[in-house]
Amino acid sequence: MSERVVILGGGISGLAAGYQLLRRDPEAEFFIFERSPHVGGLCRSVAGDGFTFDHTGHLLHLRTKQGRRFFLELLGDELTEHERNAWIYSKGAFTRYPFQCHTYGLPADVVTECLVGFLRARGEPAGEDESFYDWINRQFGSGIARHFMIPYNQKLWKTHPRDMTTEWLDRFIPRPSLEEVIRGAVSNDPTTLGYNATFFYPRSGGIAILPRTLARALSGRIELGKQASAVRCGSREVEFADGSRVGYDRLISTIPLPELVEMIEDVPEDLLAAARELRWVSVLNINFGIARHHLSDRHWIYVPEDRFSFYRVGFPGSFSSSMAPEGTSSIYTEISYLPDDPPDEGAAVHKAREDLVAMGILRPDDQILTTVVLRLPYAYVVFDRRRRPAVEAIRRFTSGHSIDLLGRFGAWTYASMEDCSNDAERLVERLFSPAG
């Protein structure tokens, strides 16, 4: 390939695109520019006091042959496969995940409401332009909707499911059979459902080993601390905050889509308006190192009730024993918020610890050895009714100006690490095709 390719963003998507370009043509001319001092984007880890914390839970769910080949060839024996051990905490009880087929252990009236609602909903036809709220009630019935699906998703997305579409959820929400729902109501059945029933995780070093391994293969082609400030479509040039410039034949953007549109010079006003329609949630990730061995053998816990600040709790030591010093444990919590309404950090840390005690995970006298607070300004794309037309309008413009959109925030979608690498491989294949 004779074109010069510039990649904005050194997260998984940008690194995977570079890796695939190099794989296809060792002489390919491409450069990756990352604004932070580190590669990885959201797929990063921080270490201190003997603990390692990821920027929230990052686990490799490998569903496709393409994804398994890529990650297992890349990391090989560095990865360990786990069977998911995920739970839910609600009504003062721990129940297995997913909620819809594991109501055993909840109050009898809740179990009854969930079963009756599920039976009544069976066979309900889909309506036109169905909202996420309608989909939940049609798939699971009013009981499961009321006791888990609605409160959990509203807590995560900071948006009522009535205002969300269904285009993102194809594989992310498990749909059990009637037999599975009944069995999970009358027994502590360990049946696993869903796209994340198994996962891979590095033996040591946290999830950051993944982008670091990719970066080593791309030595000399990555520049860190390079903040793009302007994209000039006419001259096919990117300008950076330090005043430097680079020309391109093809631009692959993995940076957040609203930011890309804002930096395109002379962009049409309707595209600026479209970009301003895009919504997302941020996450405050509070991590604790605890002076107690083996807090839990669970991997993570979903927490739907509003009285608790976080929507999920995880235990890194259950992924890898290397995540905490011997004789200690660690916990991560995730708090969702709208970008223009960030929580106070000190108050959030205090509340998170109180909530962990209230759930019985921590004891009041547990010694906190370290607290690490990480902010993820972009965590999840909100799939409301404005997203699709806005993204389609932006994509029509960018595709006509030799700009490819890639990744969770570059393409403004819901994508796992496997999705990002697969999409990068498909994009590079297209660039090398005769019609590319």
Domains and CATH numbers, the chain: 4-43+208-278+383-432 (3.50.50.60), 86-195 (1.10.3110)
Please work out, in degrees rounded to the nearest 5, the angle formed at the alpha carbon of residue 133 by the alpha carbons of 128 and 134: 35
C-beta of residue 263 within 8 angstroms of C-beta of residue 256? no
C-beta of residue 420 within 8 angstroms of C-beta of residue 13? yes
Helix (H, G, I), strand (E, B) or coil at 83: strand
Joined together, the tokens standing for residue 362 give: 């921590």
pLDDT, position 197: 85
pLDDT in tens, the chain (436 residues): 679 999 999 999 999 999 999 999 999 999 999 999 999 999 999 999 999 999 999 999 999 999 999 999 999 999 999 999 999 999 999 999 999 999 999 999 999 999 999 999 987 777 778 999 999 999 999 999 999 999 999 999 999 999 999 998 876 788 889 999 999 999 998 877 766 689 999 999 999 999 999 999 999 999 999 999 999 999 999 999 999 999 999 999 999 999 999 999 999 999 999 999 999 999 999 999 999 999 999 999 999 999 999 999 999 999 999 999 999 999 999 999 999 999 999 999 999 999 999 999 999 999 999 999 999 999 999 999 999 999 999 999 999 999 999 999 999 999 999 999 999 999 999 999 876 5
pLDDT, position 195: 60
pLDDT, position 436: 57
Joined together, the tokens standing for residue 379 give: 């965590």
CA 321 vs CA 152, 300, 325, 330: distances in Å: 30, 15, 8, 10
Residue 63 is given by DSSP the state: -
CA 403 vs CA 29, 356, 406, 431: distances in Å: 16, 46, 10, 12
d(CA 374, CA 355): 18
Question: Which residues make beta-bridge pairs with 295?
Answer: none
Residue 255 CA to chain centroid, in angstroms?
A: 15
Dihedral through CA 377, CA 71, CA 14, CA 51, nearest 10? Answer: 40
pLDDT, position 1: 66
Pairing of strands 79-83, 86-90: unpaired
C-beta of residue 114 within 8 angstroms of C-beta of residue 103? yes
Question: Which residues make beta-bridge pairs with 245?
Answer: 239
> Does the CA dihedral 196-142-336-132 come out positive or negative?
positive
Helix (H, G, I), strand (E, B) or coil at 339: coil
Helix (H, G, I), strand (E, B) or coil at 203: coil
CB atoms within 10 A of CB 414: 16
Helix, strand, coil percent content, the chain, rounded in steps of 5: 35, 25, 40
Residue 392 CA to chain centroid, in angstroms?
A: 22
d(CA 136, CA 142): 8
Residue 337 CA to chain centroid, in angstroms?
A: 15
The model's pTM: 0.95
pLDDT, position 434: 74
